[in-house]
């Protein structure tokens, strides 16, 4: 089990940040460099047919040793978020966490504190891996990669564990919403799969947001401010007016669970032109459509007020709630749940407040719920992961493989 930590600490040394403005796949060359390294890791772990396709997707297989068993898969992504640097990561191992504040950076006064992150106290006495306060950690999702490889290496060296064929895929560009774009499901060849990309210990997810992205462009009129009365139209102020018309409390900072939101994540403007970019999210399909309609109505109202063409809206759906595709095959969720229970982990079934590769893959015909890595606070300097949670994730993956090959409590004949 110590191998999962060794692998993880090695993998986070690779800067694999994805780039939304890039049109290539992978979006950054450094992801491909990590992919090449993972080929050798998979081969050392006993997997076969390890390859990188033309788009940077890494695939490999663990051959079956039990007949009449489903082909299952495990998926994790190689890239880290563009939200914060993943270069020159310096992970810190906090041994036997004492429940106090963890000073990440004295110089910048960055403190990982249970007063802000109370879930930390659940790991008192355990070893925790944190950042040094200058980068993200990369547990999202290099922890998932390390856990998958470690679990399948264990299975490959323990032939008494009967199993069907197991497929692995490590994808690029999940963090910029493209992880499933060029995923070759036919080549992957699994009946169903699990993304190992969740958060805290025990997370099991088969629901996620319905998601859309909206870009609103506002045209103003720049006039010298000394003679601007009744002439100057400040597009920055119009952007503020539009945002103020959205429900004040329906933002990521004020919502949880099944509550949807509007997220203004980019606001760039001058008097002459301002661009706002929103993420629109809701688990409920009806509410999701209502959110999109509301934004359209606001834009139409403001165009009536300030003149047609002042506001333009581009909106596109990104992904949908995978629950619709998972419910017909709920046994794959039950397998994961039972695997956790057998590993001494309490399942925490909750919706994903975001999206995963699994959501889009489920709509492409590969049902793919999501299981935990153990990671907390991804995409930033307060990211951390308890070592025990990583080890438990390895156990759960092994159990999923084992349970998937069983029929009525017995192994299929070899």
**Active-site residue list:** 79, 174
- Do the beta carbons of residue 107 and residue 143 sit within 8 Å? no
| Contacting residues for 353 by C-beta, under 8 A, at least 6 apart | 209, 256, 257, 281
**Torsion 203-204-210-215 (CA) sign:** positive
Sheet holding 58-62, edge to edge: 48-52, 58-62, 166-171, 72-77, 192-198, 370-372, 203-205, 348-349
Angstrom distance (rounded) from CA 57 to CA 59:
6
Residue with tokens 């994540």: 265
Contact yes or no for 107/134 (Cβ under 8 A)? no
Query: CB neighbours (10 Å) of residue 116?
Result: 11
Count CB neighbours of 23 within 10 A: 6
Following DSSP, what letter does each residue of 237-295 receive, concatenated? HHHHHHHHTS-TT-SGGG--TT--EEEEEEEEE-SSEEEEEEEEEESSHHHHHHHHHHH
- As beta bridge partners, residue 212 has 280, 317
DSSP letter string over 66-110? SSS---EEEEEE--B-TTS--SS---EEETT--SS-EEEETTTTE
R_g of the chain computed on alpha carbons: 23
Whether residue 26 is preceded by a cis peptide bond, meaning omega within 30 degrees of 0, is yes
Backbone angles phi, psi at 246, to 5 degrees: -85, 155
163's CB contacts (< 8 A; 6+ apart) are: 62, 64, 65, 66, 69, 155, 401, 402, 404, 405
Q: How many whole angstroms separate alpha carbon 49 and alpha carbon 63?
A: 10
Nearest CA to 368 among 336, 410, 394? 336
């Amino acid at each position: 089990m110590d191998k999962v930590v060794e692998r993880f600490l090695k993998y986070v040394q690779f800067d694999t940040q994805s780039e939304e403005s890039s049109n290539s796949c992978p979006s950054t060359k450094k992801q491909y460099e990590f992919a090449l390294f993972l080929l050798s890791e998979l081969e050392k772990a006993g997997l076969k047919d390890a390859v990188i396709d033309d788009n940077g997707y890494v695939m490999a297989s663990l051959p079956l040793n039990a007949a009449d068993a489903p082909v299952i898969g495990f998926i994790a992504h190689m890239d880290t978020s563009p939200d914060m640097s993943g270069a020159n990561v310096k992970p810190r191992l906090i041994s036997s966490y004492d429940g106090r504040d963890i000073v990440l950076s004295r110089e910048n006064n960055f403190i990982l504190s249970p007063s802000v992150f109370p879930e930390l106290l659940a790991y008192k006495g355990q070893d925790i891996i944190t950042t040094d306060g200058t980068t993200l950690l990369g547990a999202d999702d290099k922890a998932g990669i390390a856990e998958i490889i470690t679990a399948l290496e264990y299975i490959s060296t323990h032939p008494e564990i009967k199993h069907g064929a197991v497929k692995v895929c490590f994808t690029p560009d999940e963090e910029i919403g493209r992880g499933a774009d060029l995923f070759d499901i036919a080549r992957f060849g699994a009946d169903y799969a699990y993304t190992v990309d969740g958060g805290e210990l025990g997370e099991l997810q088969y629901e996620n947001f319905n998601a859309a992205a909206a870009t609103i462009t506002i045209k103003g009129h720049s006039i010298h401010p000394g003679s601007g009365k009744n002439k100057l139209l400040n597009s920055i102020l119009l952007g503020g007016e539009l945002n103020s018309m959205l429900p004040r409390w329906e933002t990521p900072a004020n919502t949880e669970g099944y509550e949807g939101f509007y997220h203004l994540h980019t606001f760039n403007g001058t008097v002459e032109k301002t661009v706002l970019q929103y993420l629109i999210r809701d688990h409920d399909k009806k509410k999701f459509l209502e959110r999109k309609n509301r934004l359209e109505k606001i834009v139409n109202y403001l165009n009536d007020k300030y003149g047609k063409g002042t506001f333009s809206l581009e909106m596109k759906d990104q992904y949908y709630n995978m629950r619709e595709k998972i419910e017909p095959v709920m046994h794959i969720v039950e397998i994961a749940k039972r695997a956790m229970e057998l590993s001494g982990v309490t399942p925490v079934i909750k919706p994903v407040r975001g999206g995963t590769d699994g959501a889009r893959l489920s709509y492409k015909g590969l049902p793919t719920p999501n299981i935990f890595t153990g990671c907390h606070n991804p995409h930033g300097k307060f990211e951390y992961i308890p070592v025990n949670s990583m080890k438990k994730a390895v156990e759960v993956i092994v159990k999923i493989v084992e349970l998937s090959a069983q029929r009525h409590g017995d192994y299929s004949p070899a």
